[in-house]
């Protein structure tokens, strides 16, 4: 903005600021949405520092892109879960999907968080520093017991590379590598991330009949509006949506 007007943004009036932002928004390729966002945030901060609160109200709000999550089919989940050669890597994927964990929640899992008797997992200090419990499946418990008997983890459920002889949790990069390799060798073309398993967990539970409030609690969402997005991707209702091509040649 300083280069555009050859002066400080502090001396510009409201109309000049809005004209500049309009120019940014109307450009087809550059700058990016990220540049526009940080320009607005930077102006808000500048005006707040200099006490120009009246300028802040004219700046546009930043709208989040209205994107729906990538959801894996049940067949794709089964394929991903059986693709890794190592049991540890299969369990990493099984915990992401079977418990709907965020990446950092998986990293922070400790042995003390596993309750095999009650078939529950204690997720400590999730997003918003909130604890929650989520169910463990019998399949997960069998796999975890086999893995623990073979690798003898001490503190963390999934150890990363040891640092100076000290056990450390599996890194975010390590988890991403497991997912990337599983996707590559499975032949799945969808973009698969740690959150894809969480999205699939919520969507599949909804399709299997679990109510939206229970899913909100399992995911650890603070606001039900965050959970409601899965209503847009789940195949629900008395009759599932279908393509007219499915019935075009049946009559």
- Judge whether 78 counts as a catalytic residue: no
- Judge whether 127 counts as a catalytic residue: yes
Q: Could you tell me the end-to-end alpha-carbon distance of the chain, in angstroms, rounded to an integer?
A: 63
Rounded distance between C-alpha atoms, residue 51 and residue 86, angstroms: 59
- Judge whether 27 counts as a catalytic residue: no
Residue of 47, 97, 147, 230 marked catalytic: 230
Buried b (16+ CB within 10 A) or exposed e, 47-61: beeeeeeebeeebee
- Judge whether 201 counts as a catalytic residue: no
CA distances from 189 to 70, 103, 200, 227 (A): 12, 21, 16, 26
- Both tokens assigned to 73: 């089919």
Enumerate residues 6+ apart whose C-beta is below 8 A from 18: 58
Rounded distance between C-alpha atoms, residue 19 and residue 26, angstroms: 11
Rounded distance between C-alpha atoms, residue 217 and residue 141, angstroms: 22
- Judge whether 37 counts as a catalytic residue: no
Residue of 127, 142, 180, 190 marked catalytic: 127
- Judge whether 152 counts as a catalytic residue: no
List of long-range contacts for 140-143, beta carbons under 8 Å, 24+ apart? 140/91, 140/94, 140/95, 140/98, 140/99, 141/116, 143/87, 143/90, 143/91, 143/94
Q: Are strands 120-123 and 132-135 parallel, antiparallel or unpaired?
A: antiparallel
DSSP 146: H
Residue of 142, 190, 195, 232 marked catalytic: 195
Residue of 89, 102, 183, 204 marked catalytic: 102
Residue of 198, 199, 204, 216 marked catalytic: 198
Q: Which positions are catalytic?
A: 102, 127, 195, 198, 221, 230
């Amino acid at each position: 903005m300083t280069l555009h007007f050859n002066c400080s943004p502090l001396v510009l009036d409201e109309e000049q600021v809005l004209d500049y932002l309009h120019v940014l928004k109307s450009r087809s390729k550059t700058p990016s949405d990220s540049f526009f966002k940080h320009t607005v945030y930077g102006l808000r901060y500048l005006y707040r520092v200099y006490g120009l609160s009246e300028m802040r109200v004219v700046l546009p709000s930043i709208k989040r892109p209205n994107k729906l999550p990538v959801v894996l089919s049940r067949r794709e989940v089964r394929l991903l879960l059986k693709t890794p050669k190592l049991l540890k890597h299969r369990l990493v994927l099984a915990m992401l999907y079977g418990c709907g964990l965020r990446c950092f929640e998986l990293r922070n899992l400790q042995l003390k968080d596993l309750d095999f008797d009650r078939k529950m997992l204690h997720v400590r200090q999730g997003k918003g520093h909130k604890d929650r419990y989520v169910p463990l499946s019998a399949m997960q418990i069998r796999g975890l017991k086999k893995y623990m008997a073979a690798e003898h983890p001490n503190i963390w459920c999934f150890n990363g590379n040891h640092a100076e002889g000290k056990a450390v949790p599996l890194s975010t990069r390590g988890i991403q590598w497991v997912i990337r390799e599983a996707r590559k060798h499975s032949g799945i073309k969808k973009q698969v991330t740690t959150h894809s398993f969480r999205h699939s967990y919520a969507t599949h539970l909804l399709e299997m009949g679990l109510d939206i409030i229970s899913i909100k609690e399992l995911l650890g969402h603070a606001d039900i509006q965050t959970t409601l997005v899965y209503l847009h991707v789940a195949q629900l209702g008395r009759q599932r949506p279908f393509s007219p091509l499915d019935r075009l040649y049946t009559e």
